[in-house]
Amino acid sequence: MMMRMLAAGGVPLLSDGEREADRDNPHGYFELERVKRLERDPDRRWVRQARGQAVKVVSPLLRWLPPGNGYRIVFMLRDLDEVITSQNRMLERLGEPNPVDDARARELYVRHLDDVRRLMQRRPGVRWLDVRYDEAVLAPERVAGHVQRFLGLTGEVAPMARAIDGELYRNRKEQP
């Protein structure tokens, strides 16, 4: 969702199209395979060369971004119960077993998010904006405006807001 928003806001995306759109993400993944090798690839010069472009990096790999660069990280957050439900449904559909029970998965996610926050707060040159998935779907113009200001983008907010596809918010947590 965020990569679509950034593209609609005029930000060039660094993506190779290797991972094609599918049932879980019909608009595509906007990923770069090279990002998946950040941890083990000693040549990370390409990151500096990507300046001015949006690159999707999953949170476990943020620690491997090379120092000496300025980073503006738009950190997507989603209710952990919704994440777990989504993962369980995807694994079930793929016929794969879930190696971790839900309570343990939640505990691991919480610890991971805390670790990532501490790491990024200590890194020089890192600026950070949390964006909650549910807020983006419910208040797209407001969230797009926050992202636009954070990144210093100019132009209309409306195209960014329209890039949010609320129909894909399929695993919503039950509201009391």
- Specify the number of domains making up the chain: 1
Better-predicted residue by pLDDT, 90 or 24: 90
**What backbone torsions phi and psi does residue 73 show, to the nearest 5 degrees?**
-105, 120
In 3-state terms, what secondary structure has residue 112? helix
- DSSP annotation of 74: E
Average pLDDT for the chain = 90
Q: In angstroms, rounded to a whole number, what is the distance separating the alpha carbons of residues 145 and 170?
A: 24
Whether 163 maps to a domain, the answer reads: yes
Q: Convert the pLDDT of each residue in 99-143 to its tens digit.
A: 899 999 999 999 999 999 999 999 999 999 999 999 999 999 999
Identify the CA nearest to 14 among candidates 60, 62, 47: 47
Whether 175 maps to a domain, the answer reads: no
Q: Tell me the one-letter amino acid at 111.
A: R
Residue with tokens 């001015």: 52
Whether 173 maps to a domain, the answer reads: no
Whether 99 maps to a domain, the answer reads: yes
Q: In angstroms, rounded to a whole number, what is the distance separating the alpha carbons of residues 16 and 33?
A: 7
99: containing domain? 2-168
Q: Convert the pLDDT of each residue in 22-65 to its tens digit.
A: 777 777 788 999 999 999 999 999 999 999 999 999 999 999 99
* Residues β-bridged to residue 77: 132
